[in-house]
Structure 1
Amino acid sequence: MSEVTAPYEPGTPCWVDLMVPDQQAALDFYRDLFGWQGEIGAEEFGGYSICTLRGKPVAGIMQATPMGDQPAPPPNWTTYFCTADADATQAAITANGGTLIAPAMDVGDTGRMLVAVDPQGAVFGAWQPKEFAGAEIVNEPGALVWNQLSTSDPKGAGVFYQAVLGLEAAPMPEMPEFTGLQVKGRTIGGVQGMENLPEGVPPHWLVNFCVDDVDSTTDALVRAGGSVMAPPFDMDKVGRMAVLQDPQGAVFAIVATNEPVRP
């Protein structure tokens, strides 16, 4: 078990959530795939669902809705990084070439959040915790284990995330094709270029969930109407993984490993 009992260090991915057209269908799908429990939430928070594992929060699911005169966003998973000051993070984002999607706002008494796009086009969020710190289980089956940025400019992305979130880029000897992003010397995510991805894939943060068995989880996803983007494969010194798409089109990865990818 990997229960989070201490506050997240600023710059650490602390939460992930999913935006989809059919919220209840997503709740049912991820319940069957990962064993999550969750229900549509209170109207005052837009029905936002907190999904739990063993009674502890692990991820959120919300209904995609139009934003002003813009259509509803496509199905997607978003990574949120802990920040001590969402407003200061917002200022750093715009000062360093990023763009705001949802400016800093209070979410009741739970925290303060924003959603933005980095200069290369990858969407991410920031979360300033108040009563809610974020995921309380990580690095075990059914929970977040890794966050990976694919970008057209790895070096530029490293500069941006250092300026905005205080992350430091560092080599990953165990995975030389990636650059690590560190908080106080601890690797909390990675960066890779786009050269090995299919043409047309935009820069993005990929959410990785831990599972016991990649192959059987992939089979279960296909039976439930999902799609396989990258079939199960072995990755040196990490474990077995696959990149998948849920029935509504949101992409995520699964990893089976004996060691936490993110310590």
Structure 2
Amino acid sequence: MNPFKTHGAFSWQELLATDIPSALNYYTQLLGLITSEMPMPDGTYTLLHSHSKRVAGLMACPPDAPPCWTYYVTVHDIQKLLEENELNLIVPLQEVPMIGSFAGLLDPHGAYLSVIQYNEAGEPDKEAIVSNQEALTTHGAFSWFELHTNEPKAAADWYSKLFGWSIKKIELPSTYYIISVNGTEIGGIMEVMDPNVPPHWSCIVTVDNVDAIQSTVAELGGTVLAPAFDLPNVGRLLYTLDPTGLPLAFGTWAPQPSEE
């Protein structure tokens, strides 16, 4: 499943940071990423790479917005999506030259998410991660997307209607809703653990060694929320906060069936 071509798939992620040098220092040291810069109309856009693959972007946070990780879902007709749904747009529809058109929205429970329609010039190249299987096996790739919310069932229903996601309910032992697109599992929806934390999207990043990441997070100023743990048939996971308090998790995945 190519996320850049698949409606409803997560295809990009970027960090909006108030202190770009500090953010770059943390993530490049933690994950061994390298950077490149791309000029944009509003300033420089920094690309993060792992094993010659682009895995994320980083740019300055707007003055009136808090720092955050933002995640982009591919849609085939963004204009139709916005016209046919009563969405709470935080970032109005706009075009990015050579890439496509995007908008940012809040879901009914307050979690922020972006939607994007790529144009032909924005088609992925050899540096793009173009399958779920590749994301699960590439160190530094953003591979599993999670919504932490106070109304997981209602959120699952809302997103299923918006993007056409298939939803499967499981117990872990808490209730967890697995998101699938065209038969490929891409993420989950769960109840936010801390009632003081607002609903938000986060991600699990593929890493070669979760325990090595755990030992480095605190050294770089991040926070380990709980020790790394094993989830049978899934892998070994670690949930953290970066030095600015932004959530990001890491996973060394168990072998998964290949995509057809």
- Structure 1 regions of 5+ residues with no counterpart? none
Tell me which of 94, 116, 140 is aligned to 1:142.
140
Q: Which moved more, 1:251-260 or 1:173-182?
A: 173-182
- Structure 2 regions of 5+ residues with no counterpart? none
Give the equivalent residue in structure 2 for 1:168: 166
Query: In structure 2, how many angstroms separate the alpha carbons of the residues matched to 1:180 and 1:133?
Result: 28
Matched, 1:259 2:228: no
Note closer, same or farther for the CA distance 1:244–1:176 as it changes in structure 2 (3 Å cut): closer
User: Deviations along 1:145-192, whole A, 9 cap, x unmatched?
Assistant: 100111222222122112221212123488873111121222221111
Query: In structure 1, how many angstroms separate the alpha carbons of the residues matched to 2:109 and 2:258?
Result: 24
Task: State the shift of 1:17 in Å.
Answer: 1.0
Give the equivalent residue in structure 1 for 2:242: 246
Give the equivalent residue in structure 1 for 2:122: 132
Identity %: 29
Task: State the shift of 1:47 in Å.
Answer: 1.6
Conserved 8 A contact 1:150-1:203: yes
Matched, 1:104 2:93: yes
RMSD over aligned CA atoms reads: 2.4
Give the equivalent residue in structure 2 for 1:61: 58
Note closer, same or farther for the CA distance 1:187–1:111 as it changes in structure 2 (3 Å cut): same
Query: In structure 2, how many angstroms separate the alpha carbons of the residues matched to 1:183 and 1:173?
Result: 20
The one-letter code sitting in structure 1 at the alignment partner of 2:76 is: A
Alignment of 1:71-220 (within 5 A): 71=64, 73-93=65-85, 95=86, 98-130=87-119, 131-133=121-123, 135-136=128-129, 138-139=135-136, 140-172=138-170, 177-194=175-192, 197-220=193-216
Query: In structure 2, how many angstroms separate the alpha carbons of the residues matched to 1:46 and 1:165?
Result: 32
Note closer, same or farther for the CA distance 1:227–1:104 as it changes in structure 2 (3 Å cut): same
Conserved 8 A contact 1:243-1:251: yes
Query: In structure 2, how many angstroms separate the alpha carbons of the residues matched to 1:169 and 1:91?
Result: 24
SS at match of 1:41: strand
Q: TM-score, normalised by structure 2?
A: 0.86
Q: Which moved more, 1:23-32 or 1:130-139?
A: 130-139
Give the equivalent residue in structure 2 for 1:24: 21
Query: In structure 1, how many angstroms separate the alpha carbons of the residues matched to 2:242 and 2:258?
Result: 24
| Runs (4+) off by over 6 Å | 173-176
Please state which structure has a larger fraction of its residues in strand: 2
Aligned residues: 250
Note closer, same or farther for the CA distance 1:207–1:118 as it changes in structure 2 (3 Å cut): same
User: Deviations along 1:23-53, whole A, 9 cap, x unmatched?
Assistant: 1222222111112221443141432212122
Conserved 8 A contact 2:3-2:10: no
Query: In structure 2, how many angstroms separate the alpha carbons of the residues matched to 1:21 and 1:163?
Result: 34
Conserved 8 A contact 2:44-2:59: yes
Give the equivalent residue in structure 2 for 1:229: 225
